[in-house]
Amino acid sequence: MRYPLIAAASAAILSAAGMAVAQHQGHHGHKGHGAATADTRVLVNMPPELVDHTLANMRDHLLTLQEINEALARGKNDKAAATAEQRLGMTSLRLHGAHEVAKYMPEGMQQAGTAMHRAASRFAIEAQNSDVTGDLKPALAVLSEVMNACVACHAGYRFK
């Protein structure tokens, strides 16, 4: 173990706090709520080249959300599903070199990452289901869970 137990424990607590913030924002939709308070995010130390690699992935994550949204708006649910699965879902894990970076991440951060990948794969299924049912709402609900994982991890951790 690279991390002393106490650091892992405090990271878990802080990440729980991050989740709570994300939940709170998710349920009430208040923009910028709590944004002015002190920075309590846990600093995660990774080799610089892995940080660069991870931030490049992050920028692709945001682009992916935009492309998913656009595909849904055009009624191209299959495209939204494939984009989510390949770039954010379980299929994307190898593409992102997740195994290599995961060992530097505190447990709570790994959990947020796993939650994002799992939710994205579930979204891919729901988006395809909505072609049959004609109801997009279940897919949108899972897409919100994907975004909630982004928000929770960002609330809890930083690289710099």
Task: Note the residues at the interface with ligand HEC (CB under 6 A).
Answer: 55, 58-59, 61-62, 65, 88, 109, 112-113, 116, 146, 149-150, 153-154, 157-160
Kindly state the smallest distance separating residue 93's Cβ from ligand HEC, in Å.
Answer: 12
Is residue 82 within 8 Å of 124, Cβ to Cβ? yes
> Which residue number, 62 or 95, has a Cβ lying nearer to ligand HEC?
62
Which residue in this structure is represented by tokens 């710099």?
Answer: 160
Is residue 127 within 8 Å of 84, Cβ to Cβ? yes
> Which residue number, 64 or 130, has a Cβ lying nearer to ligand HEC?
64
> Which residue number, 122 or 157, has a Cβ lying nearer to ligand HEC?
157
Kindly state the smallest distance separating residue 66's Cβ from ligand HEC, in Å.
Answer: 9
Kindly state the smallest distance separating residue 96's Cβ from ligand HEC, in Å.
Answer: 11
Q: Which of 11, 42, 1, 6 is nearest to 108 (CA)?
A: 11
Which residue in this structure is represented by tokens 């279940």?
Answer: 138
> Which residue number, 9 or 63, has a Cβ lying nearer to ligand HEC?
63
Phi, psi of 10 (to 5 degrees): -70, -35
Kindly state the smallest distance separating residue 60's Cβ from ligand HEC, in Å.
Answer: 9
Amino acid identity of residue 84, one-letter, is A
CA distance 142 to 32: 23
